[in-house]
Structure 1
Amino acid sequence: MITTVAIRGFRSLRELVLPLGRVTLVTGANGVGKSSLYRALGLLTGAAGGTLVGSLAQQGGLGSVLWAGPETISQAMRDGEVPVQGKARRVKPVSLGLGFVTDDIGYLVDVGLPTPSDTMFVHDPEIKREVIFGGQALRPATTLVRRKGPIVDARQDRWERVTSNLAPQLSMLSEIAEPSLYPELQAARQEVRSWRFYDAFRTDPASPARGLHVNTWTPVLAPDGSDLAAAVQTILESSFGEVLGRAVDEAFPRGRVMVESSGTRLELLFQQHGLLRPLASEELSDGTLRFLLLAAALLSPRPPRLLVLNEPETSLHPEMIPALTRLVADASRRTQVLVVSHSTALVAGLRDLLGDELEHHELLKDTGETLVAGQGVFDRPIWDWGSR
């Protein structure tokens, strides 16, 4: 299980270290940084897929996503006693840091600005440093693999050089794939590659989830829901079919979801109580379609190590929230779940179902910085970014 995620220098997340539980719920008002947390976790998966630097470039380069406030914020600044201002010169290098810790292994990546050169790609960020470590905190004795600039070393009986020419745009997670020699790299890569994100499914008339889908076994719903019918049929034929049926019945009393085959295509149908014929997917309301998409994501026969949902309550009628809550709680028996939400009903429902097993964090903003409500210096998990 992932026990901690850490983000430094990304938008309003100047320095955020967040403990995770089997189910973690993140709430807060608009604009406090919930979406930034969601996007930062997505960037971490980009390291394993070789898209981290490209994703940052698409967002306008490192300068567009970096923390825009002062390097340090004094209490006098927070209290309004003195103006919010930066120092004449930075003490530390410009850095975007991302990291996580599981029960067994930790990983961090430090992204910075390129050194001046004659290239035109001066806005492309560079990976300056990466570290894989054992245990819950980075220490010299727990360091297993380290990368500084183009050089990667791994600890065997002694430190051994893995490569000395790794491109600054590429992560060692995506480029070094020799599991027998470097099992720590393999473990970190498999961890982040298994994370799954679902954010703002489209439910408009042109949504990819509406219409016919290719008839093929689909244990994992696509991020945009474009294979919903195939994913639902896969669930119906699995041991989770009864769970899906109960969830649909709870959300839509006496309703039933089904799939029909038309040659190489599948069509999603929904039988609503009182109607003489089932509704096709293009006839479904936005809320109904969204609930089915969320159910397909949560009941995947091939669950990820971490499932992240961003504002799943969007477009759902309040009466559907209890069914969604039970789906999240049920999914937590098979995978770790992180939910970013505005819904007080979802908070209350998960607290009733999970009790102390629920890790609930409320985010707030102070002097432009995202903070965890009630988290003091000694309350947050141990985290050390190390140095370049």
Structure 2
Amino acid sequence: MITRLAVSGYRSLRDLRLVLSRLNVVTGANGSGKSSLYRSLRLLADVAQGRVIQSLAGEGGVQSTLWAGPKTIAASVRRGEHEVEGLAPKGPVGLKLGFAGEDYGYAIDLGFPPPIPPSMFSLDPQIKAEALWTGECLGRSNLFAERRGPGVRIRGEDGAWRQASTQLATFDSMMTHCADPRDGVELLTLREHMRDWRFYDLLRTDRDAPARRPQIGTYTPVLDGDGANLAAALQTVREIGDAEGLRVAIDDAFPGASVEVVSNDGWFEVEMRQHGLLRPLRTAELSDGTLRYLLLVAALTSPRPPALMVLNEPETSLHPDLLGPLGRLIALASERSQVVVVSHAMPLVEALADAGARRIELEKSFGETALASDDDRPRWDWPKR
């Protein structure tokens, strides 16, 4: 489980450090930085998938994603006694992402490419430093994999350092290129752990959504990011997962209703029976809110729960009456996975808080995202370049 998350230099997250628990809900006003925090978690997951450089380039390059304010904001400025002044930053400028738990910690530092020689790939950030350590805090004694520039070294079981690479490309992470079942087993273990993280923010419910059309059905323990395989995912839960939990989740939101999956020559489709109707409704007939709730049920009752599940504004399109059942469903899912929910729907936030969620409230001051209560700001040390 992740117990600490740190982001530095990413959009409005100049220097944000969080303590996480098993169930977490991130909230705050519009523009407070909730989406930036969500995207920073996705970028960390992209490191393990080998696509963090492409993801940042897709956002306009590291130049457009870096914190645009001053490196520090003086107390006199915060009190309104002086104006914010732009000064040339001292030292290296970079975007830093990291997390830690009781077992492992990892951090990455991405910076500007050198201006010379000129290249058409100038929007690509470069990986300047990485570190992998045991425990929650980085230190010299618990560091066992380190990358500085093109060089990577790994500490063996005997405590001796081994040079794993001397020419690692600036766009390749040691997480993907130095993980080895013999000498880099810790890197390999953490990489596979991170690849198990699951994100849901693009579940489609529009009239042309794939979930509204029949799909070829195969065993599907994991719902797709857009929800296209909804019917197969629900049937998989029913056959090899918690069928009773699925039934309860549907009944909690729609009393007296039931969901069935029908097959026509291998093409699966969801049908929903509701109290008072003479025939079932196909997914093409369901409201956006009803379909979204079914998609969330399929994601949260997965028979293959992830190490970490992150839901970005799951309340979209849902009627307020569905937020209570959704909160209960998320709370149950947190018994099998660590869950982070990003939401500005107060009924859902309060329902999750009542279920024991750690409430993380963000606010923005002078363009910088910060915790509304800074009492739990954890210690954090970044790897050196």
TM-score in same-fold range (> 0.5) = yes
Tell me the TM-score normalized by structure 2.
0.97
8 Å Cα contact 1:5-1:99 kept in structure 2: yes
CA offsets 1:60-84 (integer angstroms, 9 cap, x no match): 1001111011111111122221111
In the alignment, is the contact (CA less than 8 A) between 2:131 and 2:383 conserved in 1?
A: no
Structure 2: any 5+ residue segments left out of the alignment? none
In the other structure, the counterpart of 2:253 is 251
1:48–1:193 CA contact under 8 A, matched in 2: yes
Preserved contact between residue 130 and residue 383 of structure 2 (Cα < 8 Å): no
Measured on the aligned residues, the alpha-carbon RMSD in Å equals: 1.1
Give 1:330-369 correspondences, 5 Å limit: 330-354=332-356, 358-369=357-368
Matched, 1:380 2:360: no
Q: Which residue of 2 aligns with 1:289?
A: 291
138-147 vs 78-87, greater mean Cα deviation: 78-87
Contact 1:71 1:86 (C-alpha < 8 Å) held by counterparts: no
What residue in structure 1 maps to residue 121 of structure 2? 121
Distance (Å, rounded) in 1 between the aligned partners of 2:14 and 2:365? 11
Runs of 4+ in 1 over 3 A off after TM superposition: none
Partner residue of 2:104? 105
1:68 counterpart letter in structure 2: A
Does the CA contact (< 8 Å) of 1:152 and 1:164 recur in 2? Answer: yes
TM-score (structure 1 length as normaliser): 0.96
Report the equivalent of 1:147.
147
1:42-57 aligned within 5 A: 42-57=42-57
Query: Partners in 2 of 1:145 and 1:352 — Cα distance?
Result: 40
Structure 1 residues 123 and 200: CA distance shift in structure 2, 3 A? closer
CA drift of 1:119 comes to 2.2
- Once the two structures are TM-superposed, the CA of residue 387 in structure 1 deviates from its matched residue by 2.3
Q: Which amino acid aligns with 2:135?
A: G
Is contact 1:127–1:149 with CA below 8 Å preserved after alignment?
A: yes
Q: Does 1:328 align with 2:325?
A: no
SS across alignment from 2:211: coil
CA shift for structure 1 position 381: 1.2
- Alpha-carbon displacement from aligned partner over 1:335-365 (angstroms, at most 9, x marks no partner): 10000011211122223233xxx21110000
SS of the residue corresponding to residue 84 of structure 2 reads: coil
Query: Secondary structure of 2:316's match?
Result: coil
What is the aligned partner in structure 2 of residue 305 from structure 1?
307
SS of the aligned residue for 1:64 comes to helix
Contact 1:72 1:86 in 2 (8 A): no
Unaligned runs of 5+ residues in structure 1 are none
Whether the 8 Å contact between 2:179 and 2:185 is mirrored in structure 1 is no
Counterpart position of 1:29: 29
- 1:136 & 1:279 partners in 2: Cα distance? 50
What is residue 38 of structure 1 aligned with on the other side? Answer: 38
Contact 2:70 2:89 in 1 (8 A): no
What's the offset of the Cα at 1:304?
A: 0.4
Residue by residue over 1:168-190, the C-alpha shift from the partner in whole angstroms, topping out at 9 and shown as x without a partner, is 01111112231222121012202
